[in-house]
Structure 1
């Protein structure tokens, strides 16, 4: 069994089962909790491309996900099944910043 990877910006993680992959954009310096996909801890991403998973993708390629406290942010680099979670709480899609109005 593979141990969960530490959370640091730039770390690439993969779902233990399925094709979901993320890169950590922001993480707390201390007391980081476990990042999960489909309820299973995410592991360091192996080299190469993941095999596409059958079924509907829950994580969306190119989207950013944040935890409830906005302390952890990840970018999805390969979509797949399984909901992302941090510390046992589901992560949500990060809202896009509105562009400034031009007159």
Structure 2
């Protein structure tokens, strides 16, 4: 799985879609709902359903990251599956504070 910046991926088990903002420093498998994601143009395999331990959901417009590898993805479309990298759940990144203007 080549997680290049700007590459688009979608969940194989729900409606979630992701865009890679920052690639990981080490190879890993991006997954959603407990199953590997597929390229945006690909057809997901039939008959899959979200894993109960990976169904916390993903929120559109939120950035998710992995502290260990530096991976950062933007959720472009919400879904019931939660994103992970190599079986580690991704966490929602906080918004960066803008400097105050005086």
Tell me the TM-score normalized by structure 1. 0.78
Match of 2:37 in 1: 42
**Structure 1 residues 57 and 90, CA gap change in structure 2 (3 angstroms):** closer
Is 1:17 aligned to residue 13 of structure 2? Answer: yes
Contact 2:28 2:85 in 1 (8 A): yes
Corresponding position of 1:52: none
Tell me the distance in 1 between the aligned counterparts of 2:67 and 2:24: 13
Counting matched residue pairs gives: 90
Question: 5+ residue gaps in structure 1?
Answer: 48-55
CA contact (8 A) 1:10 1:23 kept: yes
Determine helix, strand or coil for the equivalent of 1:59.
coil
Please, what is the CA RMSD of the aligned residues? 2.0
- When residues 95 and 61 of structure 1 are mapped into structure 2, their CA distance, relative to the original with a 3 A threshold, is same
- Give 1:13 deviation, angstroms: 0.2
Unaligned runs of 5+ in 2: 43-54
Inter-CA distance 57–91: structure 2 relative to 1 (3 Å threshold):
closer
Q: TM-score, structure 2 length as denominator?
A: 0.78
**For residues 79 and 8 of structure 2, what CA distance do their matches in structure 1 show?**
15
Deviation at 1:33, TM superposition (A): 0.3
DSSP 3-state at the match of 2:74: strand
